[in-house]
Amino acid sequence: MPNEKLYGDPEMAEGGLQVKFGRKTQIVDCRRTMALKTGGGLAQSGTLAQAERADVIVVAMSPSKRHVTKPVCEITYGLRAAGINVSVIVLNRGSGTAPDSPSATAPGASVCFMEEEEALSVNRHKVAVLHLGSIKEHVVYKARFFLKFIAIPTIVVCQTPVDFEDFAKIGVKTRLVRPPPGLEETVGEIYDIVTGVVRGVTVPQGKVNEIISKVKAALRSVKPKRLVAQAVA
């Protein structure tokens, strides 16, 4: 469905600052079924909204009482308003902890998973935005698990304070800090991190701007005509 947006991006030109005003339309192939659970009207589990051009994809966990996808809606809108082509995928089994995390064996614990079709859909894009949660252990181990399948530069967005070292010490490749020799466990790499984004709460404009800035930087870092053909284990 068309996603029509207002824009007013300043451009520097000879003679001073010029500002363009008007509308620009993005085409998005939206979900095939009705929204489900507390998802902010985004989509139900296991659905994909594919942008016309495969630049950026936002990866959302499955909607539930704990995985409210309202931040994903606002992040996606902000990115599109900034002129970025954005797809959104809601994982079929995104809720729960990573199957290889220390808490996965706790009684009653549920574990997440990424299906082969989901990984292929994500890897058709240039940059991924991975929205995670508020528990530090869950965030770092889920990022490690998903980046075993996601082979493109990834920006982690979450609530809990984390840094590159937190990911690198458990084997996650990051742009600034590498895991110890021989301990790399991911094919993908964390390009950047945005913390302080709370689930179910309106995202502050400052955080939206931070996400936009880091997504644009990640896009600039991607080599032209980069082809991703990572097999899913």
The pLDDT tens digits of the residues spanning 167-222 come to 999 999 999 999 999 999 999 999 999 999 998 888 999 999 999 999 999 999 99
CA end-to-end distance (rounded Å), the chain: 34
Residue 139 covered by a domain: yes
Per-residue model confidence (pLDDT) at position 192: 98
Residue 16 covered by a domain: no
Residue 138 covered by a domain: yes
Domain that holds residue 151: 28-221
Distances in Å between the Cα of 43 and the Cα atoms of 8, 63, 110 are 29, 8, 21
Q: Give the dihedral sign, CA 160/164/168/172.
A: positive
Instruction: Specify burial of residue 130 (Cβ count, 10 A radius: 0-12, 13-18, 19+).
Output: buried
Q: Residue 71 maps to which CATH number?
A: 3.40.50.261
Q: Which residues contact 77 (CB under 8 A, 6 or more apart)?
A: none
Residue 100 covered by a domain: yes
Per-residue model confidence (pLDDT) at position 108: 67
At 147, the pLDDT band (50, 70, 90 cuts) reads very high
Per-residue model confidence (pLDDT) at position 67: 56
The residue that leads in pLDDT, 14 or 27, is: 27
Q: Are 155 and 130 in contact (CB under 8 A)?
A: yes
Per-residue model confidence (pLDDT) at position 109: 73
How much of the chain, in percent, has pLDDT values that exceed 90?
Answer: 53
At 1, the pLDDT band (50, 70, 90 cuts) reads very low
The residue that leads in pLDDT, 145 or 20, is: 145
Q: Are 53 and 23 in contact (CB under 8 A)?
A: no
Residue 185 covered by a domain: yes
Average pLDDT, rounded, for the chain: 81
How much of the chain, in percent, has pLDDT values that exceed 70?
Answer: 73
Q: Which residues contact 86 (CB under 8 A, 6 or more apart)?
A: 51, 55, 56, 57, 58, 76, 79, 80
Residue 226 covered by a domain: no
Least confident of 22-31, 116-125, 134-143: 22-31
Q: Which residue has the tokens 């509308």?
A: 23
Q: What is the count of structural domains for the chain?
A: 1
Residue 45 covered by a domain: yes
Q: Give the dihedral sign, CA 167/171/172/178.
A: positive
Residue 101 covered by a domain: yes
Give mean pLDDT, residues 96-106.
Answer: 84
